[in-house]
Structures are given as C-alpha cells and as structure tokens.
Amino acid sequence: MDNEVDANVATMSLGELVSHSMVLPMYGASAESVTGEQAEANRSIYAADTPREIIEAIRPGGVLLLDRIAFHPRFGDLPLASVVSPAQLTEYTEELQSVARSAGLANLLIVTDQEGGRVNRLPTPPLPSASSIGATSRPDLARAAGELTGRIASSFGVNVVFGPVADIGVANSAIGDRSFGADPRAVAEMVVATVDGITAAGVAAVAKHWPGHGRADADSHVSLPTLDVSASEWREAELLPFDAAVQAGTDAVAVAHLSAPALDPSGRPASASASLVRLLRKLTGFAGVTFSDALWMPAIRRFAPTDPEAAAAVLGAGVDLLLAPPDPWGTMESIDTAGAGDELRASLEASATRTLALRRRLGAAAQRPDGTDWSEEIRRLAADIGTASEGANPS
C-alpha cells in the first residue's frame, strides 16, 4: 500500500498536489441537486454548479460539512445546507464517495466539527461540552463520549472529526467551554481518552488548535490572536495535551491561525509558520496529517494580501491540508505559475503521501452509513456525565 501511494504521488503534477491538499465546503444538500442560489455561489467560487461538478473539476482531498455557517465572506448568511437531516446526510456522503470513485479518486476525507456542547454539526442532539466532561474528572466518560461521537459520525459517512480540543481553558478565553479545563495534565488525560474513543470507532480524530488557543488574547474568527506566554510556560502547559494526543495515536492535528512570539519571533500565524509546524513534529514525534484552520477566517486573511497568497504560505509552512480555501482555482494557478522549487515540491509530495495513506486506510475501514437514531444513547451518556459532574462538584 505504501509503495502504491508513493508511486502515485511521484507522478502527480504540481497542480494535482495542490488540489489534493484542499478540503472544500460546498453549497447544497445533494451532490447532484442544488438551489439556484446555491449553484450561483458554487459557480462563483468553484466555476461549477454542484458538488459533483466541483469534485470532478478540482479533485480535492476532502469535503467539509457545515450545518449553518456560511464559509465565504462574499455570500453572507446564505446557508451551506450540507447537513439538513439524518436521511439527507447519509445519502449525501454516499453520493460524494461515489462521485470520487467514479472520478478515480481515493476515498474522500469527509470532515466536520463535532465536539459536543455548542459545536455540534451533525443532525443529532449534542453531547455535553468538553468542560462538562472535564468537570467529572472521569477519563472513562471522556472515552465513552469520544467513541459515541465516532460512531455517530461513521453512521453518517463522516470519517474525520475535528476534535478533541486540546487547548487549556482559562477564564474569558475564546475557547471557553470547548476546553476540558485549566489544568494541563487533567486536560491531557481527557484528550487521550477522547482520541482513544474516536479512533476506536474507526474515525480519524483531529486534535486542535496547535500550538494552543486557550490562553490566546483574541478569537481567530475575528482577528489574529497572540499566545503571549514564554517558551518554558508553553512547554509546561499547552504542549502537554498535544503531546498526549500524539502518543494516543491521533491521526491529525489542526494548526491555528495565531501568533506565538516566544516560539516564532516573526509573529507569523502558526498555520503559516514552518518553525511551528516543524516544532509539532520534532517535540511530539507526530507523523500524521496536519490541517490548517479554516482559511476564510480573518486571522489568516489579514496576514496575507490575497487568498491564494495565504494558502500558499500555509502549504509552504508544511501544513498538509488547506481547510476551506476561499479561492481554490486562484491558489492552484498562483502556485502553478510561480512554480515550485525542490523544497516545496518535496514538502507537497510528503503531504500528499500522508493524506493519501489516511484516505485509503479510512476507506478500507469504512462501513455503509445507516443514519442510526442516536437520541437515546446520547441522552443516557449525557445523564451519566451530568451525575458524575454533580458528584465531583457537590454544592
């Protein structure tokens, strides 16, 4: 399998390597049928009307599912509608993989945020937030929540979950209740348990947001945050949960759009910092796949003058997968026109090798989506977490 992946990567053009690095959100709830408004939005971004046509034209590495958040600043509140109902989502993900197979592509990465609490993209009731689970001091419940999250995702054809959040939680943080707590070692325990649960369900976990967003001074959905801690403070806190996630076998890590001057004095966002991407692999031994955070976010858009320049900076830093690049054709054209030196070409080939290996492994392990009704299992586990949390924090 590895030799086959290596041989395929060696024959890819520069444009193919860049297209394989893209994970794209698409307007519409079906691969074939979209509203006129959705077709217009797709056409404006991708020069194609439907998800089928987008996959056939761009040949991306994956698809990002969102339930209600518009990913492109040009279209305001126009709903993506890629997640509408259990039956719709089950059919949609099957369609997407069928399109990929027909186009001669490896199994697509079909990804979404599914943390529990206020970040719940799939069409089920939410599990409790990370902070609620952390308050129980029970890693076994974190593992149960992770495994149930993975089983739910798999039942809808989703093979990559953006979670767990490995950030340290502090008061007034933008991360808030998405973190397991403020104690780095306790957070690391919960992260390990969650990664173990998600991967046990046959789904890839993505620990986020490297190098740690919890103590950053702003929200990267609004501006470029700064993680203003010393290198020694960072090693004693933020690093611990990410290292734990890697040792637990997380398949992927998401790199944040935030500046960490003590780790990279240039002030570049981590997602565009070769130093910080290398640091992840050097300090933890991580050999898996890295995702950027979404490229429509203001934190990265303010760093580079154009969307293609931002995407090129992220790829140049060694990040493997571009999440939601707003101008995919412009990005491919820009990199293709500029050409690639030996170093960038080698980096893109290494990224494609890692991502194709993951895509094929997840495809080999995939089960047919069935759209199971998870309401009762979610209710029972939420009740267990609530009881344990009350017991750990008696009034």
Q: Is 194:146 a contact under the CB 8 Å cutoff?
A: yes
Q: Is 322:17 a contact under the CB 8 Å cutoff?
A: no
Tell me the CA distances in angstroms from 88 to 83, 201, 286, one per residue in order.
Answer: 7, 22, 36
Active-site residue, 20 included: no
CA atoms within 13 A on the CB side of 133: 31
Q: Cα 391 to chain center, whole Å?
A: 34
Q: Is 250:205 a contact under the CB 8 Å cutoff?
A: yes
Instruction: Collapse the DSSP code of 379 into the 3-class scheme (helix H, G, I; strand E, B; otherwise coil) and give the result.
Output: helix
Instruction: Collapse the DSSP code of 322 into the 3-class scheme (helix H, G, I; strand E, B; otherwise coil) and give the result.
Output: strand
Helix (H) or strand (E) holding 187: helix 184-200
Q: Is 270 exposed, middle or buried (0-12, 13-18, 19+ CB in 10 A)?
A: buried
Active-site residue, 221 included: yes
6, 67, 219, 221: the catalytic one is: 221
264, 293, 307, 327: the catalytic one is: 293
- Report DSSP letters for 273-313, one per residue: -HHHHHHHHHHH---SEEEEPPTTSHHHHTTSSSHHHHHHH
d(CA 20, CA 321): 8
Cis omega (within 30 of 0) for bond into 72: no
Which residues have a catalytic role annotated? 221, 293
